[in-house]
Amino acid sequence: MIENDLREKLLDVICEPGLDRDAVMSGHLASSIDSLKLLEVIEVLEDGLHNRIPETELTEENFASLPALLKMADRLAQKAA
């Protein structure tokens, strides 16, 4: 899955109606997601990577923002290639 597709799928999960997608792109995710959405985000990432996310990557830093998530996904995709 290319980065744009993954970003859009993540935004679809994270953004509720009325939530500004641009604000989510530039802000911290802690204010935008609850624990159930966090599980959905992980599922979208794993589907996009066609692999499970290692526990060592499930850190606050990697899930702090959408750009951080995409950076982690890119790093994991490169490792798998």
**What's the pLDDT tens digit per position in 59-81?**
999 999 999 999 999 999 998 87
What are the tokens at 60? Answer: 């606050």
Confidence of residue 2 (pLDDT cuts 50, 70, 90): low
* pTM across the whole model: 0.85
Domain that holds residue 61: 3-80
* Structural domain total, the chain: 1
pLDDT digits (tens, 9 = 90+) for 9-56: 999 988 877 777 887 777 778 777 889 999 999 999 999 999 999 999
Bridge partners of 65, per DSSP, are 28
The pLDDT of residue 1 is above 60 = no
The CATH number assigned to the domain holding 42 equals 1.10.1200.10
- DSSP calls for 30-54: GGT--HHHHHHHHHHHHHHHTSPPP
Structure tokens at 23: 């604000």
**Predicted pLDDT of residue 26:** 78
